């Protein structure tokens, strides 16, 4: 990034007068209290292995023609991980890394002369988004490390979906129909199309309209870690996505889901996979005796509701909104947010259970 030519300011003096010899030590001690989670993630997660998986899934461009040496993949992976953890844009991530000492240390850039700028981050995210390979490599590598720490899937599977909001595209009915078909509406310029999300869709939930995408997630009931996920447009039917988010390994052969997954096709899928049916039931047309139905659903929801804690944590983390213009890039952003959630959850689990901080 080119430094703008501005007049010198006293806001950043060349040398600050230190009145207290212990000022730096005092500030460092206080800062450590605020960045405990970030420091713990740095200690628990092997970003070197994550960067190697990214390079294997998304090889670097050929540099036979020369050019400026690229930044290490681990540095860039750490920066996009921060974006998922704090929901930062490329420009905000560059600013925060420049401004915050804790971010510089996390990204291994403290004392570095050059720091990746927003354009470098954009290019790296484009590389990760191609075919969805980069985000999947990061998520799966972290999932393997979760199991190495001893947090294997336990307690059964809980499947649910959550809407992720996207910037609303202003269009009338005819223009919306053209966009949904993948066509360019009449009178729209190339620039307007480039700033229009053609993959996001409208949907309704509890009588309220939403625009964006949908995260379909499978979390284990014991640790509330996201094990598998899929990102679709918001109008995708939840029940039809069940086969895509099932997990093959769990210590308990039970799957829990809400009434949106109640269908004969899904029950057949569970039977083929050898899973106990824990899907809440809808009332049949004309059914009046609902006591046993409500009791069954209430029993299921006592455990099934744990997946709502996952989505609430993502919302607190800033993971319930996206800002890109394509499904591929937004899927990458949501996948990074889920990986960051798993890392935060790992820190809490290690602290609460007293597990070893090093993988076995």
Q: How far apart are the first and last CA of the chain?
A: 41
Per-residue confidence (pLDDT) for residue 358, from 0 to 100: 46
Mean pLDDT by 10 residues, the chain (360 residues): 53 56 74 84 94 92 74 94 93 93 91 89 93 92 95 95 90 86 86 87 90 95 95 93 92 93 94 93 82 91 94 86 90 95 95 61
Q: How far is CA 208 from the centre of its chain?
A: 24
pLDDT value, residue 357: 44
Residue 8 is predicted with a pLDDT of 56
Phi and psi at residue 13, to the nearest 5°: -65, 155
The pLDDT assigned to 286 comes to 74
pLDDT at 360: 38
Structure confidence at residue 11 (pLDDT): 54
β pairing state of 226-233 and 208-220: antiparallel
What burial class does residue 128 get, using C-beta atoms within 10 Å of its C-beta: 0-12 exposed, 13-18 middle, 19+ buried?
buried
154-175 per-residue burial string, b: 16 or more CB within 10 A, e: under 16? ebbbbbbbbbbebbebebeeeb
Measured CA to CA in angstroms, residue 22 lies from 25, 26, 31, 101, 197 at distances of 5, 6, 14, 18, 53
Cα 280 from Cα 116, distance rounded (Å): 49
pLDDT computed for residue 222 by the predictor: 95
């Amino acid at each position: 990034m080119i430094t703008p030519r501005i007049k010198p300011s006293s806001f950043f003096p060349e040398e600050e007068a230190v009145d207290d010899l212990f000022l730096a030590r005092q500030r460092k001690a206080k800062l450590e209290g605020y960045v405990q989670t970030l420091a713990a993630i740095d200690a628990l997660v092997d970003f070197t292995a994550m960067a190697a998986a990214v390079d294997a899934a998304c090889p670097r461009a050929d540099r036979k023609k020369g050019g400026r040496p690229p930044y290490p993949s681990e540095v860039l992976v750490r920066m996009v991980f921060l974006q998922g953890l704090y929901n930062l844009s490329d420009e905000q991530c560059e600013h925060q890394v420049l401004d915050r000492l804790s971010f510089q240390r996390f990204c291994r850039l403290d004392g570095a002369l050059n720091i990746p700028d927003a354009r470098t981050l954009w290019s790296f995210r484009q590389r990760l988004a191609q075919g969805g390979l980069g985000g999947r490599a990061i998520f799966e590598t972290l999932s393997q490390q979760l199991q190495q720490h001893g947090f294997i899937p336990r307690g059964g599977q809980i499947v649910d979906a959550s809407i992720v909001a996207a910037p609303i595209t202003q269009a009338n009915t005819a223009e919306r129909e053209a966009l949904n078909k993948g066509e360019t509406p009449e009178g729209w310029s190339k620039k307007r199309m480039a700033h229009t999300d053609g993959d996001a869709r409208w949907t309704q939930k509890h009588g309220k309209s939403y625009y964006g995408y949908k995260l379909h997630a499978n979390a284990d009931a014991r640790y509330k870690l996201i094990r598998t996920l899929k990102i679709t447009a918001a109008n995708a039917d939840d029940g039809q996505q069940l086969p895509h988010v099932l997990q093959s390994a769990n210590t308990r052969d039970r799957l829990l889901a809400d009434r949106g997954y109640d269908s004969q096709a899904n029950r057949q899928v569970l039977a083929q996979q050898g899973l106990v049916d824990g899907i809440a039931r809808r009332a049949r047309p004309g059914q009046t005796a609902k006591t046993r139905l409500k009791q069954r659903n209430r029993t299921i929801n006592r455990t099934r509701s744990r997946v709502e804690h996952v989505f609430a944590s993502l919302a607190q983390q800033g993971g319930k909104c996206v800002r890109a213009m394509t499904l591929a890039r937004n899927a990458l952003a949501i996948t990074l947010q889920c990986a960051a959630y798993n890392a935060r959850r790992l820190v809490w689990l290690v602290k609460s259970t007293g597990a070893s901080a090093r993988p076995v």
